[in-house]
Amino acid sequence: QVQLVESGGGVVQTGGSLRLSCAVSGSLFSFIGMGWYRQAPGKERELVADIRSSTMTNYADSVSGRFTISRDNAKNTLYLQMNSLKPEDTAVYYCNVRTYLNEYWGQGTQVTVSS
C-alpha cells in the first residue's frame, strides 16, 4: 500500500525557516496532484500549497511568497520550504497525494513558531 512519511517539523522563532519532507512509497504509479495542508488548534484543515507539475503550483494567500512547494521524482519525495515563518503558521502539517483512484495522507508533522 501507499505510505506517506513526513519529517522536518519543529520549533522555530519568528522569521526562521523549516523544510518539510514527505517520502512516498508503495504502489503509487501516477497522481493528479500532491500538496501540503495544515490544521491549527481550533481551526479547519486548509490547503497550504499543491503541485501537479513544475509549472503548475498553487499557494494559499497567507503563505504566497514565503513558502515553496517542490518534488524530487528520483527520490519520490515532496518538499515544502517555509521561510519568514510567523506564529500564525503554527499548525500540524500534512502531506497529501491524489491519484485517479484514491487519496492518501501522511501522519502529520508539528510546526511551532514562537514569538
| 59-95 pLDDT, tens digit each | 999 999 999 999 998 888 999 999 999 999 999 999 9
Angle at 75 between CA 64 and CA 54, to 5 degrees: 35
Asked if residue 30 has pLDDT above 90, the reply is no
pLDDT higher for 89 or 53? Answer: 89
Asked if residue 7 has pLDDT above 70, the reply is yes
Question: What is the arithmetic mean of pLDDT over 53-63?
Answer: 90
8-state DSSP, 112:
E
